[in-house]
A and B are shown apart, each in its own frame.
Chain A
Amino acid sequence: MIDRYKRFMNLEEPPPAKKAKGFFTDTSLCIGCKACEVACKQWNQLPADGFAITGNSYDNTGHLGATTWRHVQFIEQAKANGGRQEQRWLMMSDVCKHCANAACLEACPTGALIRTEYDTVYVQQDICNGCGFCVPACPFGVIDRAPTHGQFEAGTAHKCTLCYDRLKDDMTPACAKSCPTASIQFGDVEELQQRARHRLGELKARGETKAELYGMPEGKEATEVGPLHAFFLLLDKPQTYNLPEIPRLPRKTMAQRYGWSAAVGVGFALVGALVFGGRR
Chain B
Amino acid sequence: MGSNMAENHPVGFRWPMKAREKGATIIHVDPRFTRTSAAANLYVPIRSGSDIAFLGGLINYVLKHDKWFKEYVLAYTNASTIVGDDYVDAEDNDGLFSGYDPQSGTYDNTSWAYAGPVNRPARDETLQHPRCVFQILTRHYARYTPEVVEQVCGTPQALFLEVAEILATNSGRERTSAICYAVGWTQQSYGAQIVRAAAILQLLLGNIGRPGGGILALRGHASIQGSTDVPTLFDLLPGYLPHPAVSRGDDTLDDYLRQSAPSGGYWSNAPKFLVSLLKAWYGDAAAQENEYGYQWIPKLTGDHSHISTSAAMADGKVNGLIVFGQNPANGSPHAGLQRKALTQLDWLVALDLYETETAAFWYAAPEGWKPADVKTEVFLLPTAGPGEKEGTFTNTQRLLQYHDKAVDPPGDARSDLWFLYHLGRRLKDLYRESTNPRDQGLLNLTWDYLPAQADPESHIRDEPAAEKVLMEVNGYTVADRRQLPDYEQLKIDGSTACGVWIYSGVFPAPGQNMARRRKRSPSNYVNPEWGFAWPGNRRILYNRASADPAGNPWSERKKYVWWDATAGTWTGMDVPDFPARKAPETPAQEQGSGLDLHSGSDPFTLKADGRGWLFAPSGLRDGPLPTHYEPLESPVQNALYERQDSPVAKRFPRKDNPISPPGDPKFPYVVTTYRVTEQYTSGAMSRWNSWLSELMPEMFAEISPELAAEKGIDNLDWIVVSTPRNQIECKALVTRRMRPFRHGETVIHEVGLPYHWGYQGLVKGAMANDLVALSEEPNVYIQEDKALTCNLRKGRLR
Interface residues of A (CB under 8 A from B): 29, 31-35, 37-38, 41-42, 47-53, 55, 57-58, 60-61, 76, 78, 83-85, 87-91, 180-182
Contact = CB atoms under 8 A, between A and B. Distances in A.
A51 B38 contact: no
9 contacts: A32-B38, A38-B691, A49-B694, A51-B693, A51-B763, A52-B698, A53-B716, A60-B697, A84-B159
Interface stretch (B186-194, B536-544, B624-632, B731-739): B731-739
Interface of B: 6-7, 10-11, 13-14, 17, 21, 33, 35-39, 43, 45, 156, 158-159, 676-678, 690-698, 700, 715-716, 731, 733, 735-737, 739, 762-763
A60 B699 CA distance: 12
Contact of B694 (A33, A55, A60): A60
Instruction: Say whether chain A's binding surface is mostly helix, strand, loop, or mixed.
Output: loop
Which of A34, A52, A83 has the most CB atoms of chain B within a 10 A radius of its CB?
A34
A182 B736 CA distance: 28
B35 A31 contact: yes
A29 B739 CA distance: 25
A33 B698 contact: no
B736 A34 contact: no
A28 to B, nearest CB: 9
Contact of B690 (A32, A48, A55): A48
Contacts of A41: 691
A87 B736 contact: yes
Nearest to A83: B156
Contacts of B716: 53, 55
B695 A38 contact: yes
Contacts of B677: 32-34
A51 B697 contact: yes
Contacts of B736: 76, 78, 85, 87
Nearest 5 A-B pairs (CB), nearest first? A51-B697, A48-B690, A89-B38, A78-B736, A55-B716
Nearest to B157: A83
A29 B691 CA distance: 23
Given A32-B38, A55-B715, A181-B13, 11 more contacts: A31-B17, A31-B35, A33-B10, A37-B691, A48-B694, A58-B696, A76-B735, A76-B737, A84-B158, A87-B736, A182-B14
Contact of B33 (A31, A47, A87, A182): A87
A84 B156 contact: yes
A91 B677 CA distance: 14
A60 B696 contact: yes
Nearest to B33: A87
Contact of A57 (B10, B731, B735): B735
A57 B35 CA distance: 11
Contacts of A83: 156, 158
Contacts of B156: 83-84
A41 B763 CA distance: 18
B700 A33 contact: no
A42 B692 CA distance: 11
A191 B83 CA distance: 64
A60 B735 contact: no
A89 B33 contact: yes
B740 to A, nearest CB: 11
B37 A34 contact: no
B698 A47 contact: no
B651 to A, nearest CB: 36
B691 A48 contact: yes
B391 to A, nearest CB: 23
Given A33-B6, A55-B715, A181-B13, A38 B731 contact: no
B678 A91 contact: no
Contact of A55 (B33, B676, B695, B731): B731
A91 B34 CA distance: 12
Contacts of B159: 84
A88 B38 contact: yes
Contacts of B690: 47-48, 51
Contacts of A53: 697-698, 700, 716, 731, 733
Contacts of B676: 58
Nearest to B715: A55
A182 B45 CA distance: 28
A47 B691 CA distance: 8
Contacts of B693: 48, 51
A180 B13 contact: yes
Given A85-B739, A89-B35, A34 B695 contact: yes
A50 B678 CA distance: 15
Given A48-B693, A89-B37, A29 B698 contact: no
B14 A180 contact: yes
Nearest to B716: A55
A51 B698 contact: yes
A274 to B, nearest CB: 57
Contact of A91 (B11, B14, B35): B35
Contacts of A52: 697-698
Nearest to B11: A180
Nearest to A35: B10
A83 B158 CA distance: 10
Nearest to B736: A78
A55 B716 CA distance: 6
Nearest to B5: A31
Contacts of B38: 31-32, 88-91
Contacts of A48: 690-691, 693-694
B316 to A, nearest CB: 39
A11 B14 CA distance: 47
B694 A51 contact: yes
A181 B17 contact: yes
Contacts of B695: 34, 37-38, 60-61
Contacts of A84: 156, 158-159
Contacts of A42: 691
B286 to A, nearest CB: 47
Contacts of B737: 76, 78, 87, 89
A91 to B, nearest CB: 7
